[in-house]
Structure 1
Amino acid sequence: MTPHNRAKINEIAKKVLLPGDPNRARFVAENFFENPKLVTDVRGILGYTGKYKGIEVSVMASGMGGPSCGIYSYELFTHYDVDTIIRIGTSGGLQEELEVGELVLAMSASTDSAWAHQYNLSGTLSPCPNAKLFTLALKKAEELELKHSAGMVFSSDYFSSYNALGADEWKSWARVGALVQDMETYALYSTAMYLKKRALSILTMTDNCVNGKSFKDEERMEGNRNMIKLALETIVEDAK
């Protein structure tokens, strides 16, 4: 156990889905898992373990922001010996052509966060996903005919910097090709690379910053089904 996770060591699977929202963790467990079991609820951060197509999988929320995601992923990797984490998160679109509900597979992550300063690097860290997981997810998305894009994401310490001071800041990141903005991918990828573990971030574009199109409130949970399915099918494919 850790101060943030009351699950016993054998109650967390080697493969973990990591949404930010605790309610999305519950949604995954109740709608996709066989025999889900709640294994932790410290600070309202829900974690469940069950099976998907015979493979043991856990889902646990990370909370909002890079530091929160970094803490939970670090503890899962080190204290619970998790080998693979797939983030299933939401994001704001930075390119006009991205459609609401479209999936984005993060090839790399840029950031305005100081997260990587802890590694005492003399340059700029540009973390990326596990190559096998990324390739499998891309192939599976095509097989399932899921609308998707792949490229750089921008992980910000600000939930909606495009609405704050410097409201046009996101346009600079869009100009260099960032597809979407989230808050957590950079910390997850950095943590996984530092620990020599495996990570992938699959994001649902829920709100387009360019054209203003977004999910309706009642669509925001159900609209994540394709993302969740892709993550789980990637785990199944990886196990073959």
Structure 2
Amino acid sequence: MKIKESELILNPDGSIYHLNLRPEHIATNIIFVGDQDRVDKVTQYFDSIEFTTQKREFKTVTGTYKNKRLTVISTGIGADNIDIVLNELDALVNIDLKTREIKPKHTTLSIVRIGTSGSLQKDIPVDSFLLSSYGLDINGMLRSYLVDEISHPEIEHAFVAQTDWNTKKTYPLIIANDKNLEEKLLSSTMYTGITATAGGFYGPQGRVLRLALQDDELNKKIDNFNYKGLRVTNLEMETSAIYGLAKLLGHKACSLNAIMANRVNGIFSKNPEETIDKLIKYTLDKLV
């Protein structure tokens, strides 16, 4: 059954609408970064570059690092952008763009996010690295899809109960990473935990400028959440969306974060670029 032109939009050159990519432009091993300027900070370590393009905030570079073909894509900020990027990447490998039909053989992408975020726990210091064992979706984007098969209701119910979650807000959703990818990326220097993914930077993450919050104690409640030793370690805007869409579409995903701030202690990194660079080199070497 053909997918309608209004649903799968292509550019005149046959590339996918937002990313401006054709299937041959991407590797099956993909690194996500938020900032378009960070793409070059990753690919500066590549041995060769075969393709580069940019449309809006979505910059893509494909090349090789130690004989491994990799693609680096900037997603911009937020779960809404992840919805675009992951659906379009999946379409590139699992939909025939000429016939507009789903391919009979599924191709699995391996996706690693190199991001930045703030720690919610005193014992996770600034300039450390964190691997997200789970994504906690509190922004609602994934609720547009059928998510029961990827959810963890026992953790979600515990989170709602312990935080006195407002029923007018979207119901929280917990999604695990890919455990094989986690095993490949993990080391003794890496912290792990639940990464909360908010729908904004200010109010949704408990920041107050001129607007009052619906629950000004929510961050403290999230900090104190504990389910059988699992706790929320950091707060950002992409991880749960990556985990959820990857699982629904049959891909592997794992999110790594350079901890730029400690929200509990009110500290921000004095050398953020150096910390990010160390995480980039760490990730590249783990992937090969």
What is the distance in 2 between the residues matched to 1:16 and 1:212?
Answer: 33
> Corresponding residue for 2:26?
12
Q: 2:218 aligns with which of 169, 172, 186?
A: 169
Per-residue deviation, 1:66: 0.8
TM-score (ref. length: structure 1)? 0.88
- The answer (yes or no) to whether the contact 1:7–1:39 under 8 Å persists in 2 is no
Per-residue deviation, 1:44: 3.6
What is the distance in 1 between the residues matched to 2:134 and 2:282?
Answer: 19
> Corresponding residue for 2:39?
25
Which letter does structure 2 place at the counterpart of 1:206?
Answer: M
Poorly superposed stretches of 4+, deviation over 6 Å? none
> Corresponding residue for 1:94?
120
Which letter does structure 2 place at the counterpart of 1:49?
Answer: T
- Bigger proportion of residues as helix: 1
- The answer (yes or no) to whether the contact 1:40–1:46 under 8 Å persists in 2 is yes
Q: Kindly name which structure, 1 or 2, has the bigger radius of gyration based on alpha carbons.
A: 2
> Corresponding residue for 1:154?
196
Which letter does structure 2 place at the counterpart of 1:224?
Answer: I
Q: 1:74 aligns with which of 81, 87, 94?
A: 87
Identity %: 25
What is the distance in 2 between the residues matched to 1:86 and 1:2?
Answer: 21
C-alpha deviations, 1:61-106, integer Å up to 9, x for none? 0100011022112211232456111011101110011111111100
Change (3 A) 1:234 1:101: same
Q: 1:214 aligns with which of 264, 268, 275?
A: 268
1:188 aligns with 2:260: no
Q: 1:113 aligns with which of 126, 134, 139?
A: 139
1:134 aligns with 2:182: yes
C-alpha deviations, 1:158-213, integer Å up to 9, x for none? 21422133344222211112100010000000001101110000111101111111
Count of residue pairs the alignment pairs up: 227
What is the distance in 1 between the residues matched to 2:138 and 2:108?
Answer: 28
Q: Give the RMSD, CA atoms, in angstroms.
A: 1.8
- The answer (yes or no) to whether the contact 2:108–2:250 under 8 Å persists in 1 is no
Change (3 A) 1:193 1:230: same
Unpaired stretches in structure 2, ≥5 consecutive residues? 1-14, 94-106, 154-172, 226-230
TM-score (ref. length: structure 2)? 0.74
